[in-house]
Amino acid sequence: MALSRTLLLLLCVVSFEVPNAKTRPIDFVCNAHARRNMNNVKDLEVAMVDCSGSDQLPSSLQIPCVRILKASWDHKSLQQKRAEVRGALGVLLDGVGRVRKETKLSCQSSLLERLEHGITNYLHIVTKLDIKGDLTDPDPGCPSQQSRSLTQVLQLYGRLLRGKLEWLSLDLRDICLDQR
């Protein structure tokens, strides 16, 4: 039993690593295909189907606001945009990690572990982006919420990746031209 859990953990870690060990954060920004491939939300939703009772989490977790208003986004500095994305990913990571430790269902624990690993990868990439200037605190903008639904958490995570993270990547596309 312990061996199978260890193998499952190893498999999860290997399968969700950034595909190329030499990948730089700018490679993520400049390659829309890589961004789409790294998004594991659909895989997690499919895996939930085979995990009976996985939607109801053992306790609520804080989920960040991912609402994005184009007009206000366009007036923010790259540092502020990165801070918003980092802040949202950090809130999500803290909540998922805490709830994962509380769960009793092994398949739910596995789903949460995969989610946690994906969030960690994105957080690492966003933190390492070569954006000049000091790190700033995220603008509180809209309030966060609480949820006990893994489905809702995954939907929000997907919106964060397709929204603020994608828009940040698009705002950095000029850097891609400089890299050529």
pLDDT tens digits, one per residue of 52-111: 888 999 999 999 988 888 899 999 999 999 999 999 999 999 999 999 999 998 999 999
The domain locations on the chain are 25-179
The 10s digit of each residue's pLDDT in 150-180 is: 999 999 999 999 999 999 999 988 877 766 5
**Range of lowest pLDDT (9-18, 33-42, 51-60, 159-168):** 9-18
- Confidence check: pLDDT of 140 > 80: no
Q: What is the pLDDT of residue 1?
A: 53
Question: Max alpha carbon distance in the chain (Å)?
Answer: 54
Predicted TM-score (pTM) of this structure: 0.81
Distance CA 180, CA 176 (A): 7
Confidence at residue 136, expressed as pLDDT on a 0 to 100 scale: 60
Which residues fall within 8 angstroms of residue 37, CB to CB, at 6 or more apart?
19
CA distance 85 to 122: 9
d(CA 121, CA 175): 21
Q: Which CATH class, in words, describes the domain spanning 25-179?
A: mainly alpha
- What is the chain's length? 180
Structure token digits, residue 120 = 């960690």
Distance of CA 46 to the CA centre of its chain: 17
Q: Does 20 score more than 90 pLDDT?
A: no
